[in-house]
Structure 1
């Protein structure tokens, strides 16, 4: 049995693929005070859903993959570890100097980001490694001992070590770690060359800081979760989803904590890729509308697009990650009026505690969920199968007080404005994600998931002229499901920094061969023998700062002149992105290799809907909802719909964990994978 668990800001989602019971999933409110408690509570619900005892269910788990917002929340809320820095003499202020630019260069009065490590805890040591890796000045051990003693006296939780050009030669950084261990002190230690082995001092420093900032807290959480799971009877190793779309063992994930910062959204993108491949769609755009945010990802040829750098909470994270654009527009996003009386939505969220006003748990601010409850698009008595009854009166009171009365709007009109603002924010997010890459959204299929996504998907697609919407029946837990479509993954890289034309074929082959050997060694220690490789070269033109990723195939490396083929492929890739190419040689900055160890994975067969549905009548009744005005529309059971049965809008399609609004003029039907496929134009997709 395979189990995927995703802890979100509002709910914890669990998915199980059981050979006997098929695919089952549950949602339970997250427990921010101790996220591992929510996991254990969810496992009990999952056992009940599969009709098995908890001991029977948990004892049969073979694969357990977990994604969490623990690292993300620590970073965003700035409540991570207390850190110290050991760096090359003269470089203690790199954290404030950054890379010489501001996040928004046109905001002249923008405040300078507050450094994670205060200046008194940034200590310098005498040493110098040249750009080519040769040692100019040996590491001064007296300096080093003084720095270690000073940070130990300050009782920091973690030590970041970032020495100049350590990515070329990590000997001095390793010597710092050895000296810390020899002193008898055991803080969390983050070496920059191990976290990021490439050019870019600020990126390397920032990534190492993020790693140490969230590492101690994440490692503590994972240790606590492993203990709880063992007590519950789970013997399968705990594996942690990474931002790259791969997974790592829990112990390594704690040491490479920076890789888990966007693990949950990455799972959603992996699930979107799974459905795109199974449905035969070359291009897909996914959006995951959860309780706190909406995450947008692009799928090309069945694989999520990646990026090598993202900035979170004013700190760079320069490790491979699925390219995800996050919007502050989730079910729990708070609606308010700005100083000019304009309606705003998010990024603040009511989260799981206290939650939207309709939860009646102390929240008194109106949210997207409150608006949808007032519009009667969400049935208060059916939310999460009735386990969390909602109050329409509490939602209406919050909307009236904050939005309706100040704007002179009736309750329903104010709720409709909040609903449409959420739709508009998602639409603009998808438009930016596609158009800025030179892609036409009309060439995509829209895959919507997250508990709140189905109420906006049809309207978003209609606005963007996207012809087809897919909403999986597991939409509310799709990130957790996506974890079960992932493989073990290690990323290794090596800086080159030379013109491509100066590289001999043997030299280029030797670099990738060395990376492949390193990656295979890492996976062999974890017991993997089925391995696949994906090679990339980061290339740029001279005088350019940023490189672009260029795919490198086995055929390229086996060619008579692989450097010439790389040069041609770089030119082709650059022209596809920018519609022109420079007439000068390219520079190879970094060679990268993603090494995958194959895990058991969910298959399209497990996603398929039962031929006869879940039993019961497909149409469950009629509901009076507010769209352009109050009107009665039919309501259908998502689980009871059978493949081929068509539903003409306007209509609602409901399950215990999500609701889909089908607009007038659109037609929905269940496809072979159990997805609700909406033809936005009313024609069969």
Structure 2
């Protein structure tokens, strides 16, 4: 009988590239492993992983779902294109003027992110539209404008004219002129990338799309060509909204991929929540370079329409670059296993945001790294052993970790080795605890009503420590926790969020104008779906509207039903908005008028894989093997034995802490006095007792 084509998930992290391959019909996992990432050429690790898979099972007809950090890294490392910005004359400095706000209001030495387009590559077009899209000044002098651009050295272009969301005519003409004058160059146009009002945010989104566009385009094209050469049927890329998209659409809207990798982990968390009937989960993912936290509330991830990319510089908020795009709400800090420990000029030890990355990596990797990291601290105290890195190509060396911490932290601080190692871990935990509070308390959620689900190579090792600090009572480590984002990549669905501004008071709303706006969005969505490998006939299209009280600056989104359903009446739309407003803020502004701001359409297509199948209970028999005793060093330097279990041999068993559990590419720390239950589906669950200390003691 012919084998069914595989569904392959690949997530590229700063240290490792994670891979999982499974059979979509029954969820059978064919292979799962990690390979070292190749930061200088990220595609190389992906291609190597696919070649390794090909040695296990044929890739013919397979589908690859890929979470990528190429766009993010291009932006952070400032290795993007030399962008030329074309906008309305008199508005060329909008990306520098911003909104005249400051990242930290009272900071006397405030720094803000440098504009991605310098002043000499900003060009003003002789044209003007009013807020309704009526032509005030026709577009003129295009040839003279092109002459200026030719001498600028620009190799990609962003076009963002004033009020183009209401009438794209001038932007269309400018784009056509650029295509003829500069064939093959990447062109990003605001009415296509972000057709919404708010000039700064729309321009910023368009510029970021152009800045990372050529790099993402080269990367995706190369992977797509290599994949087809190997017999793979289709490559799909994870978007910031958690959905999947084709290579063609990914190259058209690179800005939609900025949060590609973190989004996949949230989708896996949502699938686990549904399968285990846990409506409220905190997704806690700690990898080699960063830690991330997001919330699943009532089985749904929180989605926002604006975020700021590259917001932190050296741990300081510098504002970043606003991007108007549907994105899963995820908080991220530079606190991964590879985060470097250092001492600031005031003699205070710090951890992160700099990371040792994949090359050279932590000192204990034996690749020439000599700076102390969080991973090295665990190697020193014994909570990481060589078994953790089996099959990864890493030659584990505790001695190298001891040397790095001694030289850079312990001796300069006058501390014993054990105190220095534990301090590194405690500082990293404090950073991640604040991150989780930002994702929960700052969003109006009580962490005590949630369980924390740990994933990533280092997440399960720190989940109990972070969970105890924020007050959660239950820690969950799912199956395949070490490659959870790769798993999430195959659990997504094709999804496109399209929007348009339709600013009007609700009482003056023209039903035909609303119908026309949604018809335009449906046409755009149909074009995007036509570029996907899945059958667009199965698409689901949902309508939404952004509303606010007149005079307010921010909106709330309300559902308007699916395309094909009758449009709700104006009274129903207003009632839904007021209900949502009371739910969000606890009161209603009864005498205030409501206005419509934007309309949205979400088009989605299901894929082959249903996440619930991966988390179904399975028949598992414990192997009865005795745990290995590992030497563990406490904060005072005392060494005691701690049991190290292998999860696959302990299904159905309860394990008494303190203990370590080797679990699908990660290590779980079970605190003293805690009992961990290894479930038959491969997950590990334990509860944290209120008032009990759950540190590495």
Please confirm whether the aligned pair reaches a TM-score higher than 0.5, indicating the same fold. yes
Please report how far the alpha carbon of residue 165 of structure 1 lies from its aligned counterpart in structure 2 after TM superposition.
Answer: 0.3
Cα 1:671/1:23, change in 2 over 3 Å: farther
Q: How does 1:167-186 map to 2 (within 5 A)?
A: 167-183=165-181, 185-186=183-184
| Deviations 1:320-345, CA, capped at 9 Å, x for gaps | 10001001110001111112211211
> What's the offset of the Cα at 1:518?
3.7
- Counterparts of 2:508 and 2:39 in 1: how far apart (Å)? 54
Q: Which residue of 1 aligns with 2:627?
A: 620
* Shift in alpha-carbon separation, 1:394–1:164, aligned structure 2, 3 A: same
Tell me, yes or no, if the aligned pair for 2:292 and 2:435 is still in contact at 8 Å: no
Alpha carbons 1:71, 1:261 under 8 Å: kept: yes
| 2:546 counterpart of 1:545 | no
Aligned length: 669
Match of 1:346 among 335, 341, 352: 352
Q: Which moved more, 1:2-11 or 1:518-527?
A: 518-527
State the alpha-carbon separation in 2 of the partners of residues 673 and 470 from structure 1: 12
Structure 2: where are the runs of 5+ without partners? 1-5, 311-319, 691-697
Give distance in 2, aligned partners of 1:152 and 1:600: 48
Distance in 2 (CA, whole Å) between partners of 1:390 and 1:104 is 42
Corresponding residue to 2:573 among 549, 555, 566: 566
Distance 2:364 2:105 in 1: 41
Cα–Cα, structure 1 residues 670 and 552, in superposed 2: closer, same or farther, change >3 Å? farther
SS at structure 2 position matched to 1:681: coil
Other-structure match for 2:685 = 677
SS of equivalent to 1:155? coil
Matched, 1:658 2:666: yes
Instruction: Please name the residue that 2:339 is paired with.
Output: 333
The 5 A counterparts of 1:199-238 are 199-231=197-229, 233-238=230-235
Greater alpha carbon shift after TM alignment, 367-376 vs 487-496? 487-496
Q: SS where residue 553 of structure 1 aligns? A: strand
Q: How far apart are 1:69 and its partner, in Å?
A: 0.7
Match of 1:576 in 2: 583
For residue 519 of structure 1, report the CA deviation from its aligned partner.
2.1
CA 1:45–1:555: 2 relative to 1, 3 Å: closer
After the TM superposition, which residues 131-530 of structure 1 pair with which residues of structure 2 at under 5 Å, given as runs? 131-140=131-140, 143-183=141-181, 185-231=183-229, 233-313=230-310, 314-385=320-391, 387-505=393-511, 507-524=513-530, 526=532, 527-530=535-538
3-state SS of paired residue (1:124) = strand
Deviation at 1:610, TM superposition (A): 4.4
TM norm structure 2: 0.92
CA shift for structure 1 position 176: 0.8
Which residue among 601, 616, 633 is the counterpart of 2:642? 633
1:187 deviates by 1.4
1-structure distance, mates of 2:70, 2:116: 18
* Post-superposition offset of 1:477: 0.9
Write the distance in 2 (CA, Å) between the matches of 1:381 and 1:554: 51
Unaligned ranges ≥5, structure 1: none
Q: Encode CA deviations 1:110-134: one digit per residue, 9 max, x unaligned.
A: 1343211111110111111111111
What is the rounded CA distance, in whole Å, between the counterparts of 1:294 and 1:112 in structure 2? 24
Residue 542 of structure 1, CA deviation: 2.1
Indicate the RMSD between aligned Cα atoms, in angstroms.
2.1
Q: Aligned partners of 1:478, 1:234: CA distance in 2, in Å?
A: 26
Residues 562-596 of structure 1, C-alpha deviations (whole Å, 9 max, x = no match): 22222122222222222223230122110111110
User: 2:10 — aligned with what?
Assistant: 5
Structure 2 contact 362–373 (Cα < 8 Å) conserved: yes
